[in-house]
Amino acid sequence: MIPQTTKILRAGLSLLAVLGTCVLANAGPTNSVPDQAAGHKSQLVGPAEAAKLIDSKKVVILDVRTPAEFAEGHITGATNLDFHAPDFRAKLEKLDKNQPYLVHCAAGGRSGQACKLMNRLEFKTVYDLKGGMQAWEKAGQPVEK
């Protein structure tokens, strides 16, 4: 009876180890943020509305792609702040929270997470470019290289 119990315990522990590994592997980036924000919410805007915000000089453009992606082409005047960089949050915390920001990445995933973090950090006005640079370029908006 004891050898059978030992086999079952070992199998159970092995299963727990595998499940734990799966959970950790799917945990997402270290900068991921829960959906709940501290009373702030970012606004999703399309390329045309984003262009109007930029033209009116009402926003700081924050490109959260990698430096290599940024170098391939970016919105004129954008500041690059790599979402995957270990110091991303620390750099965000140094920004002026009263300044409106237009945040974008390649397709919208990283910028969505960055906006959630900015909301939690109590940035007053945050716009998220729907579809990111892909949508921006598809809409025929200018890109600086």
* Tokens linked to 98: 């009263």
128, amino acid identity: D
Task: List Cβ neighbours of 77 (8 Å cut-off, separation of 6 or more).
Answer: 54, 61
Q: Which helix (H) or strand (E) holds 94?
A: none
Q: For 75-87, b where at least 16 C-beta lie within 10 A, e where not — what string? A: beebebbbbeeee
SS3 content of the chain, % helix, strand, coil (to 5): 45, 15, 45
Q: Could you say which of 105, 106, 126, 129 is catalytic? A: 105
Active site residue 22: no
Q: Which residues are catalytic?
A: 105
